A and B are shown apart, each in its own frame.
Chain A
Amino acid sequence: MSAKQTTLCVPLEVKPESCSRLSSLINDIRIREDKSTPGQENFARIIVNVPTLHFLSMSVFAAGDYDPMFILEANFDGPVGVFWGQMEAALSNDLREIVRCCKRPLDGDGKLYDAVTAPESAASIAAYFEKRTQSPSVFHHGNRGMNRDRILREHALFLTVRRELDAVDTIDADPYRGLEPRPLHEKLRQRVIADHPWLAQVPIQRISASEKAFDVLRLLLYVVILIFILSLPGLLLALLLPTAAYVAFIIVAAVLVAFLIYRKREPLPGTGIPTTFSFLNLLWQQAFVVAAYVIAATLLLVPTVVIGSYLIATLVPHETLSLSEAFWLIAPAVALGLFSLIVTVPLIILRLRYLEMHDSSHDAPQTREHLLREMIRREDWVAQNHMGSIVLLKPGVLRTAVVRAGHLGLGLLLRVQARDGYLGSMRTVHFAHWAFLNNGSRLLFFSNFDHSWDSYLDDFIEKAHAGLTLAWGCGVGFPPTRLLLFDGASHGRRFKNWALASRTVSRFWYSAYPTLTVDQIERNYRIASVLHKQTPSDMEVRQWMLDL
């Protein structure tokens, strides 16, 4: 069975008068757990008592528009309830004190808050955090399907392999020198398997076939529903107009809207950034989505209509529809509805373009000097870093709908596409997620990544500026965007300033494997995968040797 990983956050509104105390509490936890002294194991209690945990952070976001917000972010293996049980066992008193610094929820969780914050309370603090947990709107799991134990185990194997190869290099009779790949593999496997007996077992599949199929199905369902909703105006119109008139109307409207978009395609003065990104190419790449829609919609709707007609026939006798009759009734309707998308989608883009042209962007976001210094002080101690950010979202029904639908779609798409351990061409993200806060008026972003924050963002700006603009362009003050995908994050310096201003200090941050990069974990995995096999193919072994 593959490993189920979970990403979540718990946002709790802080009592303004308790904000300093809360920050101190979190600092105290960090000082107590993060020994940072040679010879003492960092975070020993968490390592032992929360063995499912990959990353954990606790931050306090202060803002002028809202009271401070405490956010606990966690990435772990296995069921949520078990994780919170472990957290309670490890940090019960700390978590209870933290909750005492936060406001009593005004929704139905008020009584639970009272129970867990009462003096000498023995009520489950795990239950409170579980109840206040918020799921991400979009998340990415690097090294997907690798549970913490496996990551650590395979890294231990890597170190054994390195020691074995390094040790023999120092003596004259190097038993590996001159060996063909397959005998080398066999010999090395024999040497390391005693210390790593799990190599003799069949490795657990990182992502099971059923999980992959489920991911694809969910994406397909999303696409079908989204396109169906966008097709609805066209479907209704098709019912009112003769087909020829309808088609003519759609074509004329589409040309008109396209013309208007074309007129507004130019960037606002001084905001254009040259890019190699092509929207037409993107559309062409997504051609399968259109085909999938037609197939899925037809497959779903035809049996529904046929079964429905038979059911009705049992109640009110009338002539039932055959399968082919139903098909020829539904398929043209689907096609006509789909055809209307050439108007609906550009119309939405046109409206958004209008909004974009009137957006305000933040040229000089304010940053608090002392926070900046704290952030810098905590960065680059190990291979990984952590960031948390909250931005306000631009208002409006259309934008809200687009952002919500966009996040949902992006999340589903990532599950289908980011299966190889990486986020597209970016090879530095361990766990990242977005979540909507305060009734969707703010957007939270957390990331656990390799290397420094600067290079992390450079990586994004360089390789995924269009995606970044799409995902974050809804933020108040975001650099000027064009047609949702262009410019925006391509303004490297402005984007970085904007992102920096939205960050806060990661007061407590824990990584179960702080020295390992995403790349190294994948490398360890590849090495272990081939060492699992008694007789890998020649090609596999040659490829494997490049990783040693």
Chain B
Amino acid sequence: MSAITSNDVLRPAAKGLKRRLMAAAMSAIPFVFRLMRRFYPIAGFGSTYIVTRYDDVREVFGEDAAFTIPYKANLDVLTGGEPFILGMTRTPDYFRQLVALRQVMLADDLPELGRSAEAHAEMIVSAGNGRVEVVDQLVRRVTFDVLADYFGVPEPGIGKLDVWATRLFEFQFASSPSDHALRQEVEEIAPAFRDHIDREIARRKSDAASLERPDVIGRCLKLQAEGEPGYSDVEIRTAMLCMIVGGPPQPPMVVPQAMEQLLRRPEALAAAAEAARANEDDRLWKILREALRFDPLAPGLTRIAAKPWTIAEGTRRARTIPKDATVIAAFASAMMDERRIPDPGRFDPDRLNHEYIHFGHGMHECFGRYINRATLHRMVKPLLRQPRLRRASGPEGHLSKNGPFSERLVVEFG
């Protein structure tokens, strides 16, 4: 079976001792970060630096001229060399593309996205007969159904959207240059994905009725017809490809992680269930957001030093980062920094917004943050409403990981 027709969203996981060692290393990260914040807050290992304190992480994200994003090379593989904001620095083109995206993805869409996510999740939970697998059966299904529909990109005739998107996501954000197998798969999937979107654009343009659909592609085509710059076929394709690769693979990673954290804290789980039953969506979002603070999307995000720069200049921990060095801004550590976060070990959904850096900070703050804010909690709301929500017995009742991806978590209710 080729990569294009594969049904496996995630590649085979490591097994045996390697898997256990990786799991142990991941679970040790919070403790290691704690030590680093205290004794070695800007740690250097060769040409890689890890920044762990709240102030310094925000500085790295905020100084986008000094610390640029490293995504362009891989992104070119995905887009066929077409530019997209994720790979751009602070240029006029960046802001033109940003405005173009904001014109077709509107704040008014968010309530409906939230409702849709909840409705889809409700159907899955109802059909679950007291047992639901959170990662794939619930969150991934809801995310791709809702967002593919929102963007206007249907399932391809051959292959699966979630497999393609997740494989490309892994290549873009979590791969090693030495992973030739993944590169090979991506070189098959990416052209097929682009071709799929191209054909969909062509189909939509040839069908006057479907042009009126208020999805994102429909809006782009409408603006194209009106002669608005920034909406050529290639630009629309690139934007849709990147949005689907960058967005939908993430909720199936983080929402199960949040559920796992809630399952570890009966009081928090009870509070989440109460908020879900009372339809207090804001409250539920805050609880989920706080749960994610204990296990966010990743330990950190990578940046590349575009010039020599001293982080935390004027303090005792100041450290000059040489040009071209890799800097990991450990936002997971920053959200646990007791210097700025009050009592960080306490589960407190009433924390202030600035205490969270889930979506990064500054110029490259996640474009999908508002969609996430509208949908993530609604995906698990129907599940949380169920009576006696609990882990399934055995290992499947505990979240398993496959590299950076959540793999499986089964819960039962009723």
Contacts and interface: CB of A to CB of B under 8 A. Distances in A.
A111 B55 contact: no
Interface residues of B, number: 25
Interface in A85-99: 85-86, 88-89
B314 A85 contact: no
Interface stretch (B184-192, B334-342, B374-382): B334-342
A78 B343 CA distance: 10
Nearest to B318: A111
B339 A81 contact: yes
Contacts of B58: 122, 124
Contacts of A110: 314
A114 interface: yes
A51 interface: yes
B340 A115 contact: no
Given A81-B340, A126-B55, A113 B314 contact: yes
B295 interface: no
Given A89-B353, A122-B362, A127-B55, A82 B341 contact: yes
Given A85-B354, A112-B314, A124 B59 contact: yes
A82 to B, nearest CB: 5
A108 B355 CA distance: 29
Given A81-B339, A82-B340, A122-B63, A115 B313 contact: yes
Given A81-B340, A123-B59, A124-B58, A86 B352 contact: yes
A109 B352 contact: no
A114 B54 contact: no
Interface string B341-365: 1100000000011110000001000
Contacts of A308: none
Interface of A: 48-49, 51, 78-79, 81-82, 84-86, 88-89, 108-116, 120, 122-124, 126-128, 131
B340 A112 contact: no
Contacts of B129: none
Contacts of B341: 82, 85
Nearest to A88: B354
B393 interface: no
A533 B63 CA distance: 55
B227 to A, nearest CB: 35
A126 B341 CA distance: 13
Contacts of A81: 338-340
A51 B56 CA distance: 24
A127 to B, nearest CB: 6
Interface string B18-48: 0000000000000000000000000000000
B159 interface: no
B62 interface: yes
B354 A86 contact: yes
A49 B351 CA distance: 10
Contact of A49 (B55, B312, B314, B354): B354
B206 interface: no
A109 B342 contact: no
A113 B355 CA distance: 24
A48 B354 CA distance: 12
A85 B315 contact: no
Nearest to B311: A123
Contacts of B362: 122
Contacts of A86: 352, 354
A49 B352 contact: yes
A82 B342 contact: yes
22 contacts: A49-B352, A81-B338, A81-B339, A82-B339, A82-B340, A85-B355, A86-B352, A111-B318, A112-B315, A115-B310, A115-B313, A120-B65, A122-B61, A122-B63, A122-B362, A123-B313, A124-B55, A124-B58, A126-B55, A128-B314, A131-B314, A131-B315
Given A110-B314, A111-B313, 7 more contacts: A82-B341, A85-B339, A85-B340, A108-B314, A114-B313, A126-B340, A127-B315
A115 B352 contact: no
Nearest to B342: A82
Contact of A78 (B315, B342, B354, B355): B342
A111 B362 CA distance: 23
Nearest to A86: B352
Most buried by A among B58, B312, B315: B315
Contacts of A116: 314
Most buried by A among B312, B314, B315: B314
A51 B55 contact: no
Nearest to A77: B342
B78 to A, nearest CB: 29
A112 B55 CA distance: 13
A109 B56 CA distance: 17
B314 A109 contact: yes
